[in-house]
Structure 1
């Protein structure tokens, strides 16, 4: 509920440069100030009424709540008192002291009857047509780019028949650049008022993006010298309601560790049985029991009050994360059954033809054994080297031996688990230091320093990104050999064969006989693909490093180390960093430093991936 403010209190807060969200004493208008940045939205609420059962969450005011300054006008302009003009003038003078150009967007909407086209209209009656020609063209282009499900977009502009006539107080603002936007209410049924949630979300995000980016283009050169940007025109700090939802989600999902359930608990015994009769025996893997109720978990997930998150981009991020968690629970609840593969495909996908061709390309490359591969260390010696590495890079974590791993080592929580049965070459150790500690452990520890715990749970697509960055870190630390890339390629082949119905033994024989993998490596790679009933995750390593390598050539990837992030959400993460909703990585990603001794063949192979 908004706080009631007297005119004097509002003026005092504006003079001090304070942010607030409240309603005038008369109730004629509401004002929300998130920051004193050059972008004002004016929402004519009277145009939004559909019925006595109006859903307040669907109003334009909520959709633009993250913009710097939002006026919401109640009733008609004939009934509004002089307090509105007084407050608006005070806000205006505060902004004019810093900015030469201040865009104002007057937003109105009425029920929309066209079920196939979204019609946006820009009223230009208050614009200097000559000076605003370029910005008007940009606004039309940006509105046209809003993508809505099953709807075409049409944008028009005119100074005739405008659907909103600005109040005198607005027209009196000196040198205001006023755009009157009549927006199609395509996110609800014109007759019943029923909300279409998917359309509403796309509409919200599109409108927010358009107003923020367009206003950033309009600010004066002196504002640009202050580095005013799209992200700076959005509210800073944690939005109201976000912390409670984030904490509730974390408490619900923090114990859901996929690999702890999917890794077989009897892999050692089954490996011995299989290698004794590789054509006659099919491993029968056993798994840890799932200790949560999948039905209750899903129900609690979808009861989280996401409507409390006002920012549409952040709310969409949490919705996608919840959907992915629900699929992960479906995956875990079907371990050892035929349905497991179906849910694995839903969660991770499967290799494309491009992925398979990339794998075959790498497998055809020639490799020689490195001197670093000749000297071997046991698990205890490897653990000592991992601990030294952690101490050097100030990673406060545990390193311990483990008897139940399929991999040589992996990060689980704040612990590096090292396979007690494995031998490690010097190259293995350097590779695992960069991969497991330099990426997986680093992002785990950095995520714990974030105010939002969603970065500990992981954003949708974080597996692809994490593994891509981890292999990239191996390459940048001079520990990614051709043999290492071949192992990633073998994983793609194994996953593809599993998805296409080949038996465990057939995949093993293909890796061993056709591609030259040792019996140990062929068994490990095949087990990784067949565990649980068909686990497709492993193709993401090669696919991920391809994207990570390509991005590394053109952009700074440091922001992806704030936690368990995803390439897809890097623009959102960068925005949240600028708005101080997300903090910079607590421990900087040293693994992104350029390589000292680059392997030209490995570089060629990575550059050649399609």
Structure 2
């Protein structure tokens, strides 16, 4: 049901916008199609004490994507106080198209910086301080546990009476599919070393942040809240860390991983894949160092080049932005897939009843 504060004409524009864009998944074009093969080649070369910089290949844009590009280039956005949100989404997708069609290192760096920002010197220093404070330690009671994660996510969804879901493994991803008609993917490398505490944390994070945001987004009168506004990735990742912090369940392993991701983004700007990996391997296991490096270098074909997507600093960067927020402001971040920059607009829209206040909230944010 459309809010009385939103005209039928604008609601129609919103639905049309959603119908054109909802299918588009930028990760499909940024995740290397030959990732597993290049990982095998990398570690085979390392066993021979040889350096190796992966050469990644990617999917090309198809007819459906070019039709979307044509739609966006000719799109006129109505004059509305929500209009800038549609403009942001439009610009982000156009940036992705530029990236996919022009994978030159300098172009890639420029686009990544526009989309994700850069790891500031202060953030890098904080990451280094975390890595000095929390030294590398073996994971207690560790095992390789992809299937354990999927099984326990299933059990948790059943217990919460969340319906219409199934889970499947695709390449190096686990996909949590169609939970109440929403979709979410977790990037979990197949060789990941984990323990039960890690599984509990990731399940709690996925359900209490991403899935709850999905549920609230579906109840909004505008479908734009399901698409993912500017900075929503950074905000969601930061929210996960902050909830763990406020629940007193954040651990040294998690902080080290996020600090390492910042360092990967910083080093990847200066060095090749191999040289970035070598520096990270002094701080992390071989598997983790490779994963952090690969995530930073995605988007590049020739990883001897400097740069890449350089987005792995987002989680810690998002946390620094989310940390000062009040409980009410944190609640606003559950309106849908929104970014921290939209807080004022969200508060005003809820007040004038253009959108609904979020109802799916973790216990720590519920009013007592």
For structure 2, list consecutive stretches of 5 or more residues without a partner in the other structure. 301-307
**Larger strand share, 1 or 2:** 1
Aligned counterpart for 2:41 among listed residues 265, 273, 289: 273
Distance 2:42 2:214 in 1: 36
Distance 2:241 2:72 in 1: 33
1:528–1:314 CA distance, 2 compared to 1 (3 A)? same
- Contact 1:262/1:532 (CA < 8 Å) preserved in 2? yes
Structure 1 residue 338 displacement after superposition:
5.4
Distance 1:591 1:422 in 2: 30
1:370–1:452 CA distance, 2 compared to 1 (3 A)? farther
Structure 1 residue 454 displacement after superposition:
0.8
Higher radius of gyration, 1 or 2: 1
Could you tell me which residue of structure 1 aligns to residue 330 of structure 2?
557
Asked if 1:342 corresponds to 2:113, the answer is no
SS of 2:33's equivalent in the other structure is: coil
Structure 1 residue 511 displacement after superposition:
0.6
Could you tell me which residue of structure 1 aligns to residue 273 of structure 2?
504
Distance 2:266 2:101 in 1: 23
Deviations 1:168-214, CA, capped at 9 Å, x for gaps: xxxxxxxxxxxxxxxxxxxxxxxxxxxxxxxxxxxxxxxxxxxxxxx
Distance 1:315 1:531 in 2: 32
Deviations 1:367-404, CA, capped at 9 Å, x for gaps: 58598x42436322322211122223343353524242
1:442–1:321 CA distance, 2 compared to 1 (3 A)? same
Could you tell me which residue of structure 1 aligns to residue 75 of structure 2?
304
Structure 1 residue 419 displacement after superposition:
5.4
Could you tell me which residue of structure 2 aligns to residue 195 of structure 1?
none
Asked if 1:383 corresponds to 2:140, the answer is no
Structure 1 residue 268 displacement after superposition:
2.2
- Contact 1:401/1:420 (CA < 8 Å) preserved in 2? no
Could you tell me which residue of structure 2 aligns to residue 577 of structure 1?
350
- Contact 1:402/1:420 (CA < 8 Å) preserved in 2? no
- Contact 2:189/2:291 (CA < 8 Å) preserved in 1? no
Could you tell me which residue of structure 2 aligns to residue 517 of structure 1?
284
Distance 2:103 2:216 in 1: 31
Could you tell me which residue of structure 1 aligns to residue 20 of structure 2?
252
Asked if 1:456 corresponds to 2:226, the answer is yes
- Contact 1:411/1:441 (CA < 8 Å) preserved in 2? no
Distance 2:76 2:134 in 1: 55
- Contact 2:335/2:357 (CA < 8 Å) preserved in 1? yes
1:370–1:496 CA distance, 2 compared to 1 (3 A)? closer
1:356–1:415 CA distance, 2 compared to 1 (3 A)? closer
**Larger helix share, 1 or 2:** 2
- Within 5 Å, give how 1:357-436 maps onto structure 2: 357-367=125-135, 373-376=140-143, 378-396=145-163, 398-405=165-172, 409=174, 413-416=182-185, 421-436=191-206
Distance 1:452 1:510 in 2: 46
Distance 1:368 1:345 in 2: 30
1:299–1:267 CA distance, 2 compared to 1 (3 A)? closer
Structure 1 residue 320 displacement after superposition:
2.7
Query: TM-score if structure 2 supplies the norm length?
Result: 0.85
For structure 1, list consecutive stretches of 5 or more residues without a partner in the other structure. 1-234, 595-610
- Contact 2:42/2:53 (CA < 8 Å) preserved in 1? yes
Could you tell me which residue of structure 2 aligns to residue 545 of structure 1?
319
- Within 5 Å, give how 1:19-38 maps onto structure 2: none
Aligned counterpart for 2:62 among listed residues 291, 312, 316: 291
Could you tell me which residue of structure 2 aligns to residue 528 of structure 1?
295
Could you tell me which residue of structure 1 aligns to residue 9 of structure 2?
241
Deviations 1:423-465, CA, capped at 9 Å, x for gaps: 5311221221122222122212321222211111111111211
- Contact 1:465/1:567 (CA < 8 Å) preserved in 2? yes
1:262–1:567 CA distance, 2 compared to 1 (3 A)? same
Structure 1 residue 591 displacement after superposition:
5.9
- Within 5 Å, give how 1:8-87 maps onto structure 2: none
- Contact 2:232/2:338 (CA < 8 Å) preserved in 1? yes
- Contact 1:263/1:405 (CA < 8 Å) preserved in 2? no
- Contact 1:399/1:415 (CA < 8 Å) preserved in 2? no
1:392–1:575 CA distance, 2 compared to 1 (3 A)? farther
Distance 1:591 1:367 in 2: 30
SS of 1:509's equivalent in the other structure is: helix
Distance 1:299 1:487 in 2: 40
Q: May I ask how many residue pairs the two structures share in their alignment?
A: 350
1:480–1:367 CA distance, 2 compared to 1 (3 A)? farther
1:368–1:508 CA distance, 2 compared to 1 (3 A)? closer
Could you tell me which residue of structure 1 aligns to residue 240 of structure 2?
470
What root-mean-square deviation, in Å, do the aligned CA atoms of Structure 1 and Structure 2 show? 2.8
- Contact 2:168/2:175 (CA < 8 Å) preserved in 1? no
- Contact 2:5/2:353 (CA < 8 Å) preserved in 1? yes
Query: TM-score if structure 1 supplies the norm length?
Result: 0.53
- Within 5 Å, give how 1:305-324 maps onto structure 2: 305-307=76-78, 309=79, 311=80, 313-324=81-92
